[in-house]
Amino acid sequence: MFVVALDSETVWLRPPVPTDIDEICAVCEHRSIAEWTTLPAPYTRKDAERFVRYSAPRGWADRSPTWTLRESSDGPVVGMIGLIGRDATAGAIGYFLSPAARSRGLMTAAVRLVCDFAFRSDGMAMERIDWRAFVGNQRSAAVARRVGFRFEGVQRAGLVQRGVRRDTWMAGLLADDPRRPVDGWPVTGGSA
């Protein structure tokens, strides 16, 4: 697969490079990111080096691209977003954002960019994108809902987080689904 950068008026998505290692490590060290992801915790510089030098390039080669998220073309890394190819026409999206960069629409813009790229015939030509998050991750769910993902249920013990199985929310977006908020999402007392 070819490597591509994506951008809009508010976000710049670039494949991770070695000069991003320290910034990626700093973002991944936040407790709120460890709470809702399967990343190692604590997250170390060695983890970031392994990701940038090995995992990310392999992902691009296997139809599973990952991007750093920035607020300007030369700004620091404030988050990450990626797709995992499930088969030739479907993938799963995952993302996280530094607490300091939240509540400004950055991740919503990034998810729209990545989904549009994934669905384009000159992009990845996908037909479906899955979203999953641990039950209670309201921030991630709010982004997915705003982009048009439709809630599809709860998968009991759906993902493993550092050796412990946790329930997950599931949603999907099809190539021809409208890109506007969709009703039917759960509301819980949990915070994200």
Which residues of the chain register pLDDT less than 70?
A: 1, 188-192
Tell me which CATH code domain 6-174 carries: 3.40.630.30
- Longest Cα–Cα distance of the chain, Å, equals 42
Give 83-135 pLDDT, tens digit per residue.
Answer: 999 999 999 999 999 999 999 999 999 999 999 999 999 999 999 999 999 99
- Residue extents of the structural domains in the chain: 6-174
pTM of this structure: 0.93
The whole-number pLDDT of residue 1 equals 63
Q: Residues of 71-89 as b/e, b for ≥16 C-beta within 10 angstroms? A: eeeeeebbbbbbbbbeeee
pLDDT at 10: 93
pLDDT at 192 (0 to 100): 35
